[in-house]
Amino acid sequence: MVDTPTLSELEARLAAVSISPGHHVQRIDALTELAWELRNNDVPRSNALATEARQLALEHEYTLGQARAARTMAMTISDTHALGDVFRLGEEARALFDQTDDDAGRAASRDFLASVHEHIGDYAAGLAWALEALSIARELGDPIRQGYALSNVGGILAASGEVDAAITHLEEALELFEGSQDAGGVGTICSRLSRVLKDAGQVEEALAYAKRCHDTAEATQSEFLQCTALTVMAQLEDKRGRLADAERLYRAAISSVTTQPGRNVVGSEAQVALGGLLIRQGAFEDAEVELNDALVRIEDDSVSIVTEAAAHQTLAELCELQGKLREAVGHLRKGQVLRERISQQDARSKLAQVEARALMEATKKDAEIHKLRFVELHGMQAKLVEAEKMAFLGTLAAGTAHELNTPVGVLRSNIELSSTATKRLVALVHGGDLGEQATKLAALLESCRATNDEAVQRIAAVAESFKRFSQLDQAERRLFDVREGLDSAIALLEPTISDAITFERHFHEVPEIEGWPRALNHAFMTVLQNAAQAIHGAGVISVETGVAQNDVLVRVRDTGRGMTEEQTAHLFDVAWSEGGTRTRMRLGLSAAYSTVQKHHGTIEIQSVLGEGTVVSFRFPNSSL
């Protein structure tokens, strides 16, 4: 195990370089090292030191110092509402590390981005970053970096429901941390394993890891790990029916965190769980205090959206038990809005996992692909990779559509029953057979029915978009309307991009064309994704259909950054892209170009640097 400088040694090193003018690099390094050491125990000072280091590094064009400082700043932003700054600084650190020969920093910056994406529920993006970090760490031969990457991979797999694979990755990470005597890593993995095993119903194993995590957290003075371990232990005692022990552990978890970020992120989760336990014990007033305190801390906090939804749900149950039906409805509605936002995140994640898993498969083939030295083989390889990618997309889309349609049917049936019951109850109320309480219940039922109906319509729309996009029930060559494919591609892509980007549909009447809908829909999706990625900040993507000289015309126009003539000339090339020590094939628009050629069509690009790009498709009219 490598000896690391103590806090006092780092303080002395910073003081020494502070009085040595002209030693800018040494001062930046001293600032970043001390900031990194303080990141868990003195967040404000750590952030201040990293901010100073980043400014100095910018002034003196010290890329590595800027990268390290940006990463520490991202990790020590105490305002949980500033999630955009966390992403911006995390991405800045990654891009800067890629310009250096610091492979450990390259892996660590990707680990950080994976953790952030995992925390907000964007599992696909998190998995992609974690896999990149793991690949770099393995090439580097760094067991600690491998351990943190495996930790992220295991956590994301667990959140995605792949429990056995998650446990395998986490146990491998634990062995690496134990071998390296990294106490912080051991605590992190024990925390993850305790949660995964708890959710899998393996109580004794989960409790053993939670206790080990707690002991490690006390030794390393990590309040986040300590609170997490105590919360898991409380949940396990709650499952066993030992309510007094569970309450004691929940309160210990809440009191173990002293910093505001800690109280907001992990402490609030324990408070909401405690509130639910107190309701079951009949301590309504105490429950209300805990739940409202948690809600004040996390309301409108994008990082804690799941906990906020749970708090509203639990408060709704409490208000209903207290006879406060109006307040219960209010909390239910707020919880519904938050759950819809969570569902949208889940939908984006499931769709994006297509790209992440395709990346995994492509990564496995990198070594073989790199052996293809002849240009004539590149196009063949691109088509094979794209074919695998499209096949997986179709399978996932079909499965998702099926899974969505099943609960939609149940919801629709329940809505019909609820509607019938509501009408009968209202009739009884109007007949004077029931009292004021029944009137309130009837109003509550009617409100729930309307909300359920809206949710069903939204789920059905998503399922229909998947079905139309994949065209699995009509995969053979046939006549089809390009407007359907464009509309479904936009519907699937729109929730995954920034709210500052808007789509404009200008769909004019066009004749049907003959071809393979799934392949062409994928080509449309590729062009639309490129358009969205070209826009930084606010912008517009305009999609137009029409007829020109008896051909079917599709035009996609964006207000993005545009391209030079040289970039445009090579846009359809199959090429190699290199990042650090890794080389992989960059398909660009070559697959979309091949698909259009297969349909006897053409694709043209017009772009102006700084103004935007127009992609025009032309297809022969099949009716002629």
* pLDDT computed for residue 586 by the predictor: 42
Provide the CB-side half-sphere exposure for 528 (13 A, CA): 28
- Tokens describing residue 543: 């999609």
* CA 534 – CA 144 distance, rounded (Å): 36
Fold of 478-620: Heat Shock Protein 90 (3.30.565)
pLDDT-derived band at 618 (thresholds 50, 70, 90) equals very high
Residue 608 CB coordination number (10 Å): 13
Average pLDDT over residues 478-500: 84
Q: What percent of the chain has pLDDT over 90?
A: 25
Q: With a cut of 80, say whether residue 218 has pLDDT above it.
A: yes
Tell me the C-alpha to C-alpha distance, in Å, between residue 281 and each of 251, 278, 328.
Answer: 15, 5, 19
Average pLDDT over residues 346-350: 47
Average pLDDT over residues 6-31: 82
Tell me the C-alpha to C-alpha distance, in Å, between residue 134 and each of 139, 152, 153, 385, 584.
Answer: 9, 9, 9, 22, 16
* pLDDT computed for residue 190 by the predictor: 94
Residue 124 exposed, middle or buried by CB count within 10 Å (0-12, 13-18, 19+): buried
Residue 55 CB coordination number (10 Å): 14
Strand 478-480 relative to strand 575-579: parallel, antiparallel, unpaired? unpaired
Average pLDDT over residues 207-212: 94
Q: With a cut of 50, say whether residue 268 has pLDDT above it.
A: yes
* pLDDT computed for residue 82 by the predictor: 60
Nearest Cα to Cα of residue 316 among 302, 342, 337: 337
CATH code for the domain defined by 377-470: 1.10.287
Rg of the Cα trace of the chain?
28
pLDDT-derived band at 411 (thresholds 50, 70, 90) equals low
- What lies within 8 Å, CB to CB, of 504 at 6+ separation is 540, 541, 542, 543
* CA 350 – CA 383 distance, rounded (Å): 24
460 near 408, Cβ under 8 Å? yes
pLDDT (tens digit, 9 = 90+) per residue, 46-81?
Answer: 889 999 999 999 988 899 999 999 988 988 875 544
pLDDT (tens digit, 9 = 90+) per residue, 548-562?
Answer: 888 999 999 999 999
